[in-house]
Structure 1
Amino acid sequence: MAFLSNPKNTVFLWVLFLLACGNRPKNDSAQMETTDVASIKTETKEVIVAANRTAEYIPLLTGKKVGVVANQTSVIFHGDNHTHLIDSLSSLQIDLKKVFAPEHGFRGKADAGEKVKDDVDTKTGLPIISLHGKDRKPSPEHLRDLDVVLFDIQDVGVRFYTYIATLQLVMEACAENNIPLIVLDRPNPNAHYVDGPTMETKHTGFLGMTEIPLVYGMTIGEYAQMINEEGWLKDAVTVDLTVIPLKNWTYGTEYSLPIRPSPNLPNDTSINLYPSLGLFEGTNVNAGRGTEYQFQRYGASFLDSTEYNFSYVPKPNFGSKHPKEIGKKCFGKDLSQTPKMSEASLRWIMDAYENTVNKTKFFITDGFTKHAGTTKLQKQIEAGLTEKEIKETWQADLEKFKTIRKKYLRYQ
């Protein structure tokens, strides 16, 4: 399905209330805020996220029963402030029926992997259906009273970041129940490159549902179109999909996320390092959880202390109630000053493995395979291959993916 481009004449009244504006807000709060929507000014030179392009999607929701897949990042920007999409749609008397929430919950506060229960939004009274609890895919019962589903979640472009798995399962559920899906596109802060091992079919799961590289270089809207048109949904079903595009953004555009997309990605550096340090999730090494420098450092009590002049002690904190190596002195490296990268680097995980006193304690094999998407990477590291040698084994799959990806790129 093509990107929407021509709004209908009936939208002019809505434009008076919500005009698209640029996004560079500094507010990192995950709390909902309210702002006078009539005060929005258009900043044509700044990135305009699809949520701000209300004239393009409000007519598609008017008079319909709507479900929304959303979290704390689902906002409409007003200069340095923002309102939550749910609040804005409610104020415009869109008939919202329920909210579906991904990993970390509607407010984005739950730990990684933590099961989240269904809830009720105290502000709007809407039921919140968790897609990271007993269900990960909306059921026919969840969709029975809906005419359309709206999806708006900020992604970071890394395969094992589970928001794209939620997207795929929502697409599948909508297709099976003949419910149209509208995706509001947002920038991908890691869209400037494609890299990493490609997921193998036998290892697919919630940390990677399709055979794509670790870093895939696409917006969530582009990726939705790829899933749909490449027949990657279960039984090759397709959903009636509309993607509302971004404005004033390309793959090389510098874009700083104003709201942390999940508890342990607090800033640009953590998001940029996440493809590399996220592989530590499949090991016993701490990658900064339990500190204020999540995915900006790594360390463990079992690394050779004589090799490092940096150490820290993980403690329970926001988004990490039980971090690895909790209360232990971890020896490792501080990467918080690392310049922006355009690759998924293996040098840090290889460094940690090399300096592990007892190497049998390093990998959590099943977890590492799910994150890497293959059993090969662990074996290659254990065999002592160089980073260059390992990366050479990725290239054929990367080129194959790039050929497919090229068909869906919209922001040249």
Structure 2
Amino acid sequence: MKKILLLMLTLLLTIGISMPQVQAKANDFKLGNEVLLEKYAHLIDGKRVGLITNQTGVNSQGKSTISVLAEYPNATLTALYSPEHGIDGKAKAGAYVESTTHPTLKIPIYSLYGSTRMPSAKMLANVDVLLFDLQDIGARSYTYISTLNYCMVAAKQNNKTIVVLDRPNPLGGLIVDGPVLEDKFKTFVGVDNLPMTHGMTAGELGQFFNRKIGANLQVVPMEGYTRNMIYQDTGLRWVQSSPVMPDLQSVFGYNATGLGEGTGIFQADAFKWIGGKGIDSKKYATLMNNAKLPGVTFIAEKRGSAGGVRLKITDYRTFNPAKTGIYALTYAHSLNKFKVPKSGKTIVMFDKIMGTNKIGLYLSQGLSPQQIEAKYAPQLNKFKEERKKYLIYQ
């Protein structure tokens, strides 16, 4: 009897000790913008600070980095820089955004999606150090990382330090897929030799970009972040990053449904549906479901005259957006034989998004999605090896 009581007491003590430790671990996660003032304040103390940000630049309590820096007594916030969609994230995709003045701080908000996409020497004249605090969505064609790249180039040219306040990749750090961008197809929707889904944080991307730029780059890392974490693991509330990116379903669906530029295959309902005219929804759903893609099922759904499927993500950890997107586009082509856009003297948007003209060629040849995957696999595997040099988190 005494042995049983002793065992029970030991078990209770173990539970009592371990539970708070688990809770403490869950609370250990910190964003780069929170770690900045705790451990890296020397990077901005006594400096004039420029901040590249928008409405996503908030800490875990939802307070904007603009406000935090404006209240910080040891540095002076002198300029703001906004990416595509503007400082409040409300401008439509591709819409010209004017530079303006912050209504209360009375400092300039320089638009990096207006007359220029790279800060000019004049825009940087009153700044000693640039901070980058934007929430990316983990896709090569999302332009916030292009803004980071361009700002790194400007920092190099103007002898400024640039500091990335790191944030999570919402898709996690394990899924890496899709064709790797070729140099010829570098644009603002594909700024470097990345696959569609790169599995890197902004800080890691900064280190990757810097292999060619050579800027004075500093990364303020997150704490308590690991590669296997998706956004849902961080405890953070998703802040709508752009007009059609309201929630995490949209973030995960972006590369899966948004690759059909110029083909007539389109996304709807904020990247949760894909389809087009001349497609039989039931046949499309059958093809997609029979592919047994990880973490997702497909529901036949017609939208007006277009047939298509709605994505139902069943496992956000294993779901592979880029792979899903290649399959969705290839099977759509097998059903309605859409005309594949082709680049000539000018590069069409389809090839810019793909980062290559080869996917269009493979579609025209009638290759299966499995064959297309095999075609881009060698370059993808090379990238995965190269990427290891720039990773911050285990």
The alpha-carbon deviation at position 304 of structure 1 amounts to 4.6
The alpha-carbon deviation at position 216 of structure 1 amounts to 1.3
Q: Indicate if the aligned counterparts of 2:80 and 2:110 stay in contact, CA closer than 8 A.
A: yes
The alpha-carbon deviation at position 46 of structure 1 amounts to 4.4
The one-letter code matched in structure 2 to 1:196 is G
Given the two structures, how large is their TM-score scaled by the length of structure 1? 0.78
Are 2:61 and 1:85 equivalent residues in the alignment? no
Q: How does 1:11-410 map to 2 (within 5 A)?
A: 45-53=27-35, 54-78=37-61, 82-93=62-73, 94-190=75-171, 191-228=173-210, 230=211, 232-233=212-213, 238-256=214-232, 258-288=238-268, 293-304=269-280, 307=283, 309-312=300-303, 329-340=305-316, 341-342=319-320, 344=322, 345=324, 346-356=326-336, 359-360=338-339, 363=341, 366-410=348-392
Gaps of 5+ in 2: 1-23, 285-299
Deviations 1:306-357 (A, max 9, x none): 8575223xxxxxxxxxxxxxxx64321111445421352222112322232x
Q: Indicate if the aligned counterparts of 1:102 and 1:132 stay in contact, CA closer than 8 A.
A: yes
Q: Which has the larger radius of gyration?
A: 2
The one-letter code matched in structure 1 to 2:133 is D
Q: State the alpha-carbon separation in 2 of the partners of residues 63 and 97 from structure 1.
A: 12
The one-letter code matched in structure 2 to 1:404 is E
Q: Indicate if the aligned counterparts of 2:149 and 2:206 stay in contact, CA closer than 8 A.
A: yes
Q: Indicate if the aligned counterparts of 2:227 and 2:393 stay in contact, CA closer than 8 A.
A: yes
Alignment CA distance shift 1:50-1:99 (3 Å): same
Q: State the alpha-carbon separation in 1 of the partners of residues 302 and 342 from structure 2.
A: 22
Q: Please give the secondary structure, in 2, of the residue aligned with 1:77.
A: coil
Q: Please give the secondary structure, in 2, of the residue aligned with 1:402.
A: helix
Q: Indicate if the aligned counterparts of 1:284 and 1:363 stay in contact, CA closer than 8 A.
A: no
Alignment CA distance shift 1:398-1:301 (3 Å): closer
The alpha-carbon deviation at position 285 of structure 1 amounts to 2.6
Deviations 1:70-104 (A, max 9, x none): 011101222xxx11110111122431111110011
The one-letter code matched in structure 2 to 1:296 is K
Q: State the alpha-carbon separation in 2 of the partners of residues 156 and 331 from structure 1.
A: 28
Q: Please give the secondary structure, in 1, of the residue aligned with 2:367.
A: coil
Q: How many residues are matched?
A: 341
Deviations 1:286-314 (A, max 9, x none): 201xxxx31110233454578575223xx
User: Is the helix fraction higher in 1 or 2?
Assistant: 2
The alpha-carbon deviation at position 175 of structure 1 amounts to 0.5
338-347 vs 199-208, which moves further: 338-347
The alpha-carbon deviation at position 134 of structure 1 amounts to 1.0
271-280 vs 144-153, which moves further: 271-280
Alignment CA distance shift 1:110-1:137 (3 Å): same
Q: State the alpha-carbon separation in 1 of the partners of residues 312 and 101 from structure 2.
A: 38
The alpha-carbon deviation at position 244 of structure 1 amounts to 0.3
Q: Indicate if the aligned counterparts of 1:66 and 1:95 stay in contact, CA closer than 8 A.
A: yes
Report the RMSD for the aligned CA atoms in angstroms. 2.1
The alpha-carbon deviation at position 282 of structure 1 amounts to 4.5
Deviations 1:7-49 (A, max 9, x none): xxxxxxxxxxxxxxxxxxxxxxxxxxxxxxxxxxx97634211
Q: Percent identity between the aligned chains? A: 35
